[in-house]
Structure 1
Amino acid sequence: MSRAFVKEGDGALDPLPDLPVSPHPNHVTPAGLAALQQRLRDTQSRLAALKARPDRLDKLPEAAAERDIRYLEARLRSAILIDPAAFPATEVAFGLIVTVADEDGTEHRFQITGEDESDAATGRITPQSPLARALLGARIGDIVTWKKPAGVTSLEVLGIAHP
């Protein structure tokens, strides 16, 4: 192989590109803020452990941890804390838990949370999701229309509660 195409350096990696940060406001619940802070502490501890290794030939894990720390610090700087306890449970709002029934009568529970704490499998959805946009501002007894890729679904709001 020609040496002209081999990059020689000091063995250090260039920083990994930053993770994309959402253009939406970074609203967080108190639990979401605490989770972000814990993730940052855990990642900082992981980086310290990686740097303390006696054999540091593979520096990619360190670069990934540094990138993750930059992302988490940016998310914490932009966090807008919204405490759902400040909202009455009379209409669907950020952080509140809403129970709905679909057209078949099956009940589902959702909580509108920040992007970093959302998890569709556990019913935590972002405010930008079509479901959250349909639910925000609804009251008990309201029928909302959820436009999803598979078609339109009607949901009846059965309950609204604080977490």
Structure 2
Amino acid sequence: MSRGFVKEGDQEEPLVIPPRAILPDGVINYVTPVGFEELQEESSLLEKQYGNLEIENEIDLRREQNMIHGKIKLLKERIASARIINPEDQAQDEVRFGAQVKYKNMAAMLTQVISIVGVDEADVSKGKIAFTTPIAKALAGAKKEDVVEFKLGNEIQKLKILEINY
């Protein structure tokens, strides 16, 4: 259609669907059983939200439907690629996916507790970090009382493993 027949008010801005958490190419999408349930719940909520939209303006309705549809599509791809790892099946004496790790930063003498989870489960405010992060990679395979080195910026931090729980 020629631009001469298009009303300016009919122009829709391109839709930008926010991406999910980054999962590097070639990396398996590990998730805990709890994380997998959360992904499924999120999918159900989005599908309900899609069906319950009450927007009178046709353009706004179509835009919101497309946004939700895009989010559902990305979420379904994550669910389809998920490989559930039960933390209880991991070696209990070393840091692996699903572990809750208590460690001490030897320089700062600061003790912290983190859980190593899937990329979609990660929430730093809750102490949940993705298995793809540098600190999770540094801790992987460590055992209680081990001291591992972790590069933070230009500094090398030494972390002593105090506890490992699953």
Shared fold (TM-score, shorter chain, > 0.5): yes
**1:41-81 Cα shifts (integer Å, max 9, x gaps):** 0000111111xx26142122211100000011000100000
1:108 equivalent in structure 2:
112
Alignment of 1:1-163 (within 5 A): 3-4=3-4, 6=6, 19=19, 22=23, 23=25, 24-50=27-53, 53=54, 55-57=56-58, 58=60, 59-103=62-106, 104-149=108-153, 151-162=155-166
TM-score (norm 1): 0.85
Read off the aligned partner of 2:129 and give its amino acid letter: I
Q: Give unmatched runs, 5+ long, in structure 1.
A: none
Identity percentage of aligned residues: 30
Q: Give unmatched runs, 5+ long, in structure 2.
A: none
Using the TM superposition, name which of 97-106 and 134-143 deviates more.
97-106
Q: What's the secondary structure of 2:38's corresponding residue?
A: helix
**1:18-45 Cα shifts (integer Å, max 9, x gaps):** 8466322110000100000000000001
CA RMSD of aligned residues (A): 2.7
- In 1, the alpha carbon distance for the partners of 2:7 and 2:28 equals 41
Number of residue pairs matched?
A: 158
Read off the aligned partner of 1:109 and give its amino acid letter: V
- In 2, the alpha carbon distance for the partners of 1:74 and 1:159 equals 35
Q: What's the secondary structure of 2:93's corresponding residue?
A: coil
Q: What's the secondary structure of 1:116's corresponding residue?
A: coil
Residues 115, 5 of structure 1: alpha-carbon distance in 2 compared, 3 angstrom cutoff? farther
Q: What's the secondary structure of 1:90's corresponding residue?
A: coil
Runs of 4+ in 1 over 4 A off after TM superposition: 10-18
- In 1, the alpha carbon distance for the partners of 2:149 and 2:64 equals 45
TM-score (norm 2): 0.84
